[in-house]
Amino acid sequence: MGKKIMINPGLPQHNNLTYAPAVRKGNMLFISGQDAAETDPVTGRLTFSNDILEQTKIIYEKLRVILETAEAGFEDVVSTTDYITTTRNYKATADVRRQYFGESFPASTGVIVKGLLHAGALIEIDAVAVLD
């Protein structure tokens, strides 16, 4: 199966954490829940847009970079889970999914949780891919 390989595209918020942004072993790729945190270049603090659509766009860009680092693509993604804290404007995020997945959609589950770990996060998405 090959060894477990931690995939880290160098996102700043992943330093010093006890998980990897993604892990590959054999042809399975597991991607950690991504939120839309961006690091303020001056203060170093995490910042968030206050709109779930904007947050989703940022998350899908992070997923794109992680997949690329793992030499994979959205066509390999078989499952995503959306953990959301609000349904406000959530339906609009379907367009982001169409943009990145084309017509090759994954299985998906969406649930409304009580909270996410970073204050300000409205949505967090994890994913599983099966590589060729």
Q: Which residues of this chain interact with a copy of itself, rule CB under 8 A?
A: 1, 4, 6, 17-28, 30-33, 75-76, 78-81, 83, 85, 87, 90, 94, 97-98, 101, 104-117, 124, 126, 128, 130-132
* Separation CA 102–CA 70 (nearest Å): 20
Minimum CB distance to a copy of itself smaller for 1 or for 42: 1
Q: How far is the CB of 75 from a copy of itself (least distance, A)?
A: 6
Q: How many CB atoms lie within 10 A of CB 58?
A: 18
Q: How far is the CB of 56 from a copy of itself (least distance, A)?
A: 11
Rounded to the nearest 5°, which phi and psi values hold at 56? -65, -40
* Separation CA 37–CA 124 (nearest Å): 10
Q: How far is the CB of 129 from a copy of itself (least distance, A)?
A: 8
67 contacts 74 by C-beta, under 8 angstroms: yes
